[in-house]
């Protein structure tokens, strides 16, 4: 019998002092009341499904925080971030699959250029869970997952959740990526 792979929900911890940024496209859409797809820019960037109207580099502005980390969050969107050159280099060197970068420009609150960061998208796909209710952070395991939906990438989305393989978890922990956090897949889902 084949052993099931070990997956982990993957994200970056939120610290109040971490630099947080937001794409200008999103801020303009909010300010002007534009309810077009530009309001969904975080989703497009997170998934690497860039719409034809999106121009690169994507421009970002800092809106809070003062500490630079390996990942900088975008507003309140949990799925999207930018990553440091260091983190990008670690992923490339170790041939981690299921992600890509996109060109960005970041300005701080004083309009100074912030360098050393890359837009980060997770391109690996794992399909969806086989349950209609959201489990949240409970002890129950209401979500079922069919492994045949996984494309084999090291980093991937199942529904809206970013997932990594155990290899990536061990790599990021050993490299001391300062905001990475992981939750075992087995805590909220099981294979069918």
Q: Which region among 32-41, 72-81, 137-146 has the lowest average model confidence (pLDDT)?
A: 72-81
Q: Is 127 left (phi over 0), alpha (psi -120 to 50) or beta?
A: left
Q: What pTM did the predictor assign?
A: 0.88
Cβ proximity of 162 and 169 under 8 Å: no
Phi, psi for residue 133 in degrees, rounded to 5: -95, 145
Q: Looking up tokens 């395991």, which residue turns up?
A: 141
Note the pLDDT of residue 101. 97
Least confident of 42-46, 132-136, 161-165, 166-170: 132-136
The secondary structure element, H or E, covering residue 94 is: none
Greater model confidence, 80 or 105: 105
- The structural domains of the chain, with segments of one domain joined by +, span 1-192
For residue range 128-160, what is the model confidence (pLDDT) as tens digits?
Answer: 987 655 555 455 556 889 999 999 999 999 988
């Amino acid at each position: 019998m084949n052993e099931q792979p070990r997956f982990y929900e993957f994200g970056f911890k939120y610290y109040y002092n971490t630099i947080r940024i937001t794409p200008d496209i999103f801020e303009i859409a909010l300010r002007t009341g534009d309810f077009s797809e530009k309001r969904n820019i975080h989703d497009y960037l997170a998934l690497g499904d860039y719409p034809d109207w999106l121009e690169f580099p994507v421009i970002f502005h800092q809106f809070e925080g003062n500490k630079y980390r390996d990942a900088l969050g975008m507003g309140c969107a949990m799925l999207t971030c930018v990553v440091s050159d260091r983190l990008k280099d670690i992923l490339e060197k170790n041939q981690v699959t299921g992600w890509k970068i996109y060109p960005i420009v970041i300005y701080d609150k004083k309009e100074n250029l912030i360098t050393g960061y890359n837009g980060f998208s997770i391109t690996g796909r794992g399909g969806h869970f086989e349950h209609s209710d959201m489990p949240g952070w409970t002890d129950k395991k209401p979500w079922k997952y069919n492994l045949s939906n996984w494309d084999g990438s090291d980093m991937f989305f199942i529904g809206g959740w970013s997932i990594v393989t155990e290899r990536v978890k061990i790599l990021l922990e050993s490299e001391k990526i300062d905001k990475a956090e992981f939750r075992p897949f087995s805590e909220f889902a099981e294979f069918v």
